[in-house]
């Protein structure tokens, strides 16, 4: 049974809570109802003297009784996100719901003692440089729990998480990490404290950011404290604030158990994020990627040649000429690999575009293989030797195309898998005003996983640094790049950032960190804009390309070849899907904007069915008649809803693109979705200016490379 408090989602504070409390106490709860009850009872017994509110984020099932427990506490707000967000994300959610100057984060198994909360508040009030304060934690038997630690090192991890810790239980490395030689009776600055009980200053959170949500469990507290240190905030241990901690994080123990695996995963994320050695290597990502790709290509070229030789040997009885030993082909194999690598270089297969745009890479690979095949076939005549079988050369072409393509595909899959785990994200330092940075963040959120982690740098906030000193923006920006392990800098042009940029270009170049500039006039930029020399001046060439509509007999033919068979063969499935939809109507229609602003009807099924979940392409079926009738194309511009289109200024409506709306495009694959943070007008304009048959094929196969390039060079999306 759900309480009314839960049903209201707890965004409205219950009666009795001050409108502007000084303290928010945040519990992250997951299947610990009994402990949560005890934790709330402890706060009832020893309430803080300052005005406070209590927020409970329930990562577990709503029916475990936590909502009823919270409803009995007059200061408690309950929120259940309906799924397990992980600790870090739940903390950030709770902080977002809080309104106080300080936030005390408590695990349900931490019980406050008399005066503990007030001691932490007093310490925070006494020094505005303190960003994080933590109490003394005691075990249930009253013994000291080592809750503050030094930062992890590899020796520390080995002694803490392997059998070596039992072999050397009193090793100096362990004692230094746990700070066990200190009596914990005096207040002192520490590297980090466990996240089960931390008081956080909101100004510190605004500066540093919330917990890194890539850490599902473990190391989120280490990372947070490390970032606070990096920004000049103090992390203070307060022994006068005493609390009992029921657990000792046993969940992280056990060889390759769930907790141990999570601990290792989080340690890898933490190390990848902050290791200076890995940071230097990440700055060399392009060179490393090229080197690995070359090695892979050599291996695949060799494998293709060996496969061709094996096939020739397998079917040797079909040929009159004998097959000579493989050793006789070693010189030719070296020649083939050399020609192959030179052709790959010549066709740009080691440039960034060939990596990030698989479709372009495949096309260039086909072109390169045509040249390689012709050179090798010609060599069998020019060298006048009977050793080189022309059958092997003929087989070598398709096999190389297959093997090299698979090799590169496997490398891309490996990189994508690593990035899905939250590793190898490029950290961008985004420099600009608050509004520019917020716009950039919304654009990133709208595009989903982008493979980057933006770090925001606002020059004007340096005057409000906790140290109180006025910092030089250019010098501080260089320090940020180094300490935040920045891989690339993106600068939004303003009067202030332009002055900073002049000072940092040379130092950043020496560090190997590229800089991108979003100019004030970035709205004028179009694909193909380039820097040119003009009488000693660097000039940005913007125009010069004649605009044209998207119209081609080949495009129209391909639309019909794709849509017509699906429309005919899929008709029985369409009838089945209609029968699965109960009630009427079964289709809904939306007035949308097509080529040159013409209005047409865009249709879809009223809701998703089991059939459309299994066969995703069936969701497009109601729109196929528009393709047959020429009102839409398989790939095209975004079809604006009429009501959105009417809200645009008149000049934008007059400049409607001469291109058909698509079933899919740079904007995605569902034209019914409208995201206010995405600039569909710019995406449409970019598509028209960049259009080619190859571009359509790329988008059709799900390769959003054009959008990727645009986000780096044209300021796409909401920028």
Q: What is the mean pLDDT of residues 589-605?
A: 92
In terms of domains, do 398 and 334 share one?
A: yes
Q: Minimum mean pLDDT among 245-259, 527-541, 634-648, 688-702: which range? A: 245-259
- Point out the domain boundary residue: 362, 394, 420: 420
Q: Is residue 541 part of a domain?
A: no
Looking up tokens 């303290």 gives 23
In terms of domains, do 438 and 400 share one?
A: no
**pLDDT-derived band at 36, boundaries 50, 70, 90:** very high
Q: Is residue 277 part of a domain?
A: no
User: Residue 463 belongs to a domain with what CATH number?
Assistant: 3.40.50.20
Which residues are CB-neighbours of 492 under 8 A, at least 6 positions away?
430, 431, 432, 433, 436, 437, 440, 518
Query: Which token pair is 112?
Result: 């406050």
Helix (H, G, I), strand (E, B) or coil at 472: coil
**pLDDT-derived band at 278, boundaries 50, 70, 90:** confident
pLDDT for the residue 228? 94
In terms of domains, do 399 and 442 share one?
A: no
In terms of domains, do 243 and 381 share one?
A: no
In terms of domains, do 500 and 560 share one?
A: no
Q: Residue 62 — left, alpha, or beta (φ > 0 → left; ψ -120 to 50 → alpha)?
A: alpha
In terms of domains, do 405 and 437 share one?
A: no
Q: Residue 566 — left, alpha, or beta (φ > 0 → left; ψ -120 to 50 → alpha)?
A: alpha
- Is the pLDDT score of 386 beyond 80? no
- Is the pLDDT score of 282 beyond 70? yes
Q: Is residue 41 part of a domain?
A: yes
Q: What is the mean pLDDT of residues 198-203?
A: 95
- Is the pLDDT score of 16 beyond 90? no
Q: Is residue 540 part of a domain?
A: no
CA distance 321 to 716: 60
Q: What is the mean pLDDT of residues 694-711?
A: 60
- Is the pLDDT score of 447 beyond 80? no
Q: Is residue 28 part of a domain?
A: yes
**pLDDT-derived band at 5, boundaries 50, 70, 90:** very low
Q: Is residue 70 part of a domain?
A: yes
- Is the pLDDT score of 32 beyond 80? yes
- Please tell me the total count of domains within the chain: 4
- Is the pLDDT score of 539 beyond 50? yes
- Is the pLDDT score of 706 beyond 70? no
In terms of domains, do 400 and 450 share one?
A: no
Which residue range forms the structural domain that includes residue 694? 553-713
pLDDT digits (tens, 9 = 90+) for 57-94: 998 877 678 888 888 888 899 999 888 888 899 999 99
Q: What is the mean pLDDT of residues 109-132?
A: 95
pLDDT for the residue 709? 38
Q: What angle do CA 558, 560, 566 make, to 5 degrees?
A: 110
Q: Minimum mean pLDDT among 294-298, 332-336, 484-488, 565-569: which range? A: 332-336
Which residues are CB-neighbours of 233 under 8 A, at least 6 positions away?
129, 130, 131, 132, 201, 204, 207, 208, 466
- Point out the domain boundary residue: 353, 386, 420: 420
Query: Which token pair is 79?
Result: 């929120």
Q: What is the mean pLDDT of residues 186-202?
A: 94
pLDDT for the residue 491? 92
Task: From residue 344, give the alpha-carbon distance in Å to each of 81, 287, 294, 357, 637.
Answer: 51, 16, 9, 15, 34
Q: Specify whether the CB–CB gap between 625 and 566 falls below 8 A.
A: no
List of E strands, 436-480: 452-457
In terms of domains, do 73 and 211 share one?
A: yes
Q: Is residue 718 part of a domain?
A: no
**pLDDT-derived band at 446, boundaries 50, 70, 90:** low
- Is the pLDDT score of 715 beyond 80? no
CA distance 108 to 60: 13
In terms of domains, do 462 and 317 share one?
A: no
Give me the residues paired with residue 602 across strands: 590
> Can you list the alpha helix ranges (DSSP code H) found in 347-389?
352-356, 358-382
- Is the pLDDT score of 524 beyond 80? no
- Is the pLDDT score of 151 beyond 80? yes
- Point out the domain boundary residue: 377, 395, 420: 420
Q: What is the mean pLDDT of residues 468-495?
A: 85
In terms of domains, do 224 and 369 share one?
A: no
pLDDT for the residue 682? 82
In terms of domains, do 448 and 493 share one?
A: yes
CA distance 17 to 52: 7
pLDDT for the residue 462? 65
For the chain, counts of helices (H) and of strands (E)? 29, 22
pLDDT digits (tens, 9 = 90+) for 311-326: 988 887 787 777 778 8
Q: Is 710 exposed, middle or buried (0-12, 13-18, 19+ CB in 10 A)?
A: buried
pLDDT for the residue 341? 93
User: Residue 193 belongs to a domain with what CATH number?
Assistant: 3.90.550.10
Q: At what angle do helices 358-382 and 693-700 cross, to 10 degrees?
A: 110
Percentage of the chain lying above the pLDDT 70 cut: 86
Q: Is residue 341 part of a domain?
A: yes
Q: What angle do CA 607, 611, 616 make, to 5 degrees?
A: 85
* Percent of the chain that is helix, strand, coil (3-state, to 5): 50, 15, 35
Q: What is the mean pLDDT of residues 361-365?
A: 88
In terms of domains, do 610 and 491 share one?
A: no
């Amino acid at each position: 049974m759900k309480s009314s408090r839960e049903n209201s989602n707890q965004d409205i504070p219950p009666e009795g809570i001050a409108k502007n409390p000084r303290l928010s106490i945040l519990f992250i709860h997951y299947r610990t109802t009994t402990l949560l009850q005890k934790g709330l009872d402890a706060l009832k017994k020893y309430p803080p003297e300052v005005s406070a509110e209590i927020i409970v984020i329930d990562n577990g099932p709503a029916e475990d009784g936590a909502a009823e427990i919270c409803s009995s506490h007059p200061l408690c707000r309950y929120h259940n996100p309906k799924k397990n967000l992980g600790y870090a994300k739940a903390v950030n959610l709770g902080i977002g719901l809080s309104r106080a100057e300080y936030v005390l984060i408590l695990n349900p198994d931490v019980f406050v003692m008399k005066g503990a909360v007030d001691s932490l508040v007093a310490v925070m009030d006494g020094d505005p440089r303190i960003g994080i304060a933590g109490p003394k934690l005691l075990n249930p038997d009253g013994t000291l729990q080592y809750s503050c630690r030094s930062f992890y090192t590899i020796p520390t991890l080995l002694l803490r998480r392997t059998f070596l810790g039992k072999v050397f239980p009193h090793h100096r490395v362990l004692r230094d990490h746990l700070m066990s030689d200190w009596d914990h009776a005096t207040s002192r600055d520490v590297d980090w404290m466990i996240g089960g009980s931390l008081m956080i200053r909101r100004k510190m959170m605004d500066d540093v950011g919330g917990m890194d949500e890539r850490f599902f469990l473990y190391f989120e507290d280490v990372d947070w404290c490390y970032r606070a240190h990096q920004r000049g905030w103090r992390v203070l241990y307060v022994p006068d604030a005493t609390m009992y901690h029921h657990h000792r994080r046993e969940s992280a123990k056990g060889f390759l158990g769930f907790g141990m695996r999570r601990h290792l995963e989080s340690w890898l994320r933490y190390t990848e994020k902050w290791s200076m050695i890995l940071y230097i290597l990440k700055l060399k990502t392009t060179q490393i990627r090229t080197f690995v790709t070359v090695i892979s290509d050599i291996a695949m070229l060799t494998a293709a040649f060996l496969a061709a030789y094996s096939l020739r040997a397998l079917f040797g009885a079909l040929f009159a000429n004998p097959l000579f030993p493989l050793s006789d082909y070693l010189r030719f194999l070296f020649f083939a690999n050399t020609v192959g690598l030179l052709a790959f270089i010549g066709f740009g297969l080691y440039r960034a575009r060939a990596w990030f745009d698989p479709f372009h890479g495949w096309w260039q690979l086909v072109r390169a293989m045509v040249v390689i095949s012709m050179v090798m076939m010609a060599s069998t005549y020019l060298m006048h030797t009977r050793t080189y079988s022309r059958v092997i050369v003929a087989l070598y072409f398709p096999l190389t195309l297959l093997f090299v393509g698979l090799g590169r595909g496997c490398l891309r899959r490996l990189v994508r898998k690593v990035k899905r785990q939250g590793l190898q994200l490029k950290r961008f330092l985004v420099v600009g005003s608050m509004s520019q940075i917020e716009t950039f963040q919304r654009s990133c959120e709208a595009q989903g996983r982008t493979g980057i982690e933006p770090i925001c740098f606002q020059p004007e906030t340096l005057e409000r640094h906790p140290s109180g000193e006025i910092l030089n923006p250019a010098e501080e920006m260089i320090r940020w790049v180094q300490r935040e392990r920045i891989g690339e800098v993106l600068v939004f042009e303003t009067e202030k950032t332009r002055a900073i940029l002049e000072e940092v270009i040379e130092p950043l170049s020496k560090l190997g960190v590229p800089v991108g500039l979003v100019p004030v006039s970035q709205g004028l930029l179009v694909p193909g804009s380039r820097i040119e020399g003009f009488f000693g001046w660097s000039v940005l060439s913007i125009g010069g390309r004649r605009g044209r509509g998207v119209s081609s007999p080949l495009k129209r033919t391909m639309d019909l070849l794709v849509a017509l068979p699906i429309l005919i063969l899929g008709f029985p499935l369409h009838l089945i899907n209609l029968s699965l939809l109960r009630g009427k109507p079964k289709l809904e229609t939306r007035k949308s904007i097509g080529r040159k602003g013409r209005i047409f009807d865009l249709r879809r099924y009223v809701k998703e069915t089991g059939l459309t979940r299994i066969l995703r392409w069936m969701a497009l079926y109601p729109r196929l008649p528009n393709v047959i009738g020429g009102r839409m194309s398989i790939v095209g511009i975004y079809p604006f809803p009429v009501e959105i289109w009417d809200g645009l200024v008149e000049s934008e409506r007059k400049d409607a693109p001469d291109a058909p709306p698509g079933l899919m495009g740079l904007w995605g694959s569902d034209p019914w979705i409208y995201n206010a943070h995405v600039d569909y007008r710019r995406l449409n304009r970019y598509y028209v200016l960049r259009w080619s048959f190859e571009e359509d094929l790329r988008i059709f196969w799900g390769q959003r490379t054009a959008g990727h390039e645009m986000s780096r060079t044209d300021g796409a999306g909401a920028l």
